[in-house]
A and B are shown apart, each in its own frame.
Chain A
């Protein structure tokens, strides 16, 4: 079957660095995405990794290790507005074509 695991909650202080981990299990792994969702809002795309390594986009970076079935999202210089839920999502290439499976999400609380 397919499964993703990420911590349910993470708390950090403003200006700090936080890492949100994601482990996955899927048969047709193609890539790993990260989405941000504020309370009451829609998910917005942050990053995508198809190959091993680190992808950097401003204060956010995402890492993937295909051999370990593991990835993480790194948020630097945390700001209060970063308080939100963060979802890892596996892009799976199965018999029916590409499919995206979302994790349960990690709720990030940024404290002053």
Chain B
């Protein structure tokens, strides 16, 4: 069964350092999402891609976060510099173009010290 892949699964970094997360969506899924989930809360959309284009990044803190999906397949989310408040689970999901069902990867648990 096809799955969304993410790496790393866990990341510990010191504040002010740079950190990057990678996501490989299910093959053929045009739409890719990056979410941040704080413990006890629902996923919050950071950025949404349709193929290689950003269609929504209204909640992305653009002073420190960046995301790209250069060839419309895999994607990278970067934080520079990391802050203590960035500690959270970062989830990647994908769906068919205009599809309502999202498939989530296992996530990257980020701890900023």
Contact = CB atoms under 8 A, between A and B. Distances in A.
B44 A97 contact: no
B59 to A, nearest CB: 10
Interface string A82-108: 000001010100001111111111000
B56 A105 contact: no
Nearest to A8: B40
A15 interface: no
Interface in B75-113: 91, 93, 98, 100-107
Q: Interface residues of B toward A: which range?
A: 20 to 34
A43 interface: yes
B104 A99 contact: no
A72 B88 CA distance: 28
Nearest to B107: A42
B100 A43 contact: no
B56 A96 contact: yes
A10 to B, nearest CB: 15
B6 to A, nearest CB: 9
Contact of B98 (A42, A98, A100, A105): A98
Nearest to B109: A40
Interface of A: 31, 33, 41-45, 48, 50, 87, 89, 91, 96-105
